Amino acid sequence: MSIVPGGYQVAAKAKRKKVWRVIGFVLGIILLIWLVIRFFPVAESKDLHKFASDRPLVIAHGGGNHLAPSNTLAAFTNAYELGVDVLEFDIHMTKDGHLVSIHDPTVDRTTDGTGRVNEMTLEEVQALDAAATFKDLNGEYSFRGKGVYIPTVDEIFSTINDPEMLYTIEIKDSNDPELYQTMSEKLWKLIQHYGLEENVIIAAFDQAIIDMVIEVSEGEALVSGGRDEITKFVVFHKLFLNGLYQQNVHALQIPTEDSDINLMDGKLIRGAQNRGMDVHYWTINDPETMKELIEIGADGIMTDRPDLLMELLD
């Protein structure tokens, strides 16, 4: 009777060895795949054309929101004269179909008027004082009552009129998805009209808008990833699986931290660059953080104080 238990133990032991061999084989395959993905990634490189730089690009947020009224020609011309690399601004569309530069869906915060941009005509929007609430670094309303208005994208391109000037333009979420198609088409036509296809990165919080821009431009537009795309890349990066990420965008414009996850990471920057993407950080106004981002190799820094960033880089 003692033979049966002994035979059972031998069989059980052999079965366990077989299971462990299978587990070891599977883990070995997984490790091999991980090593291949980790060290031999295959990526389609999509260079950022004129955005390539050997130092962080100075991206003037709203044209430099602390130096002049946000998203206005006063801000853009001031930033241009400072010598910034990139002008950043946001766009909405008026009731009569004009793309205008303004951050909010309403004019309430930055002008002396009220109302939603997409419910107002261009004439109504441009009749407002876009410097009504702006205070300069001395706390004074130095631009108020001096004819500062909300410009069209057409006016911005024609006023700056420099084929080397770079732009990042964000299509803002206006809670009206039907507008996105029209806005994407109009913006791309303006970019083509001025020959700025390689000078403009189009951004949006909603990845669906970015996908629409890609479709409208037949894949020719330079685009920054929406939140979903950025999240996907960061997840792959944190799991050391960059090689599984399929590049669909040209840049990632991100904060230094999101949901308690540190994004101010040199490895993340290099991982993105290896996948053909540049990393731009927003919105950085203190010199210490600017210094850190310069040191870890950020491709661009978006700031309300481009003057401070330029001093550091110089």
**CA–CA separation, 257 vs 18, rounded Å?**
47
Set 61, 92, 250, 280: catalytic member: 61
98 catalytically annotated: no
- Identify whether the C-beta of residue 206 lies closer than 8 Å to the C-beta of residue 173: yes
List 98, 103, 193, 237, catalytic entry: 103
Q: Is 103 a catalytic residue?
A: yes
Kindly list the catalytic residues. Answer: 61, 103
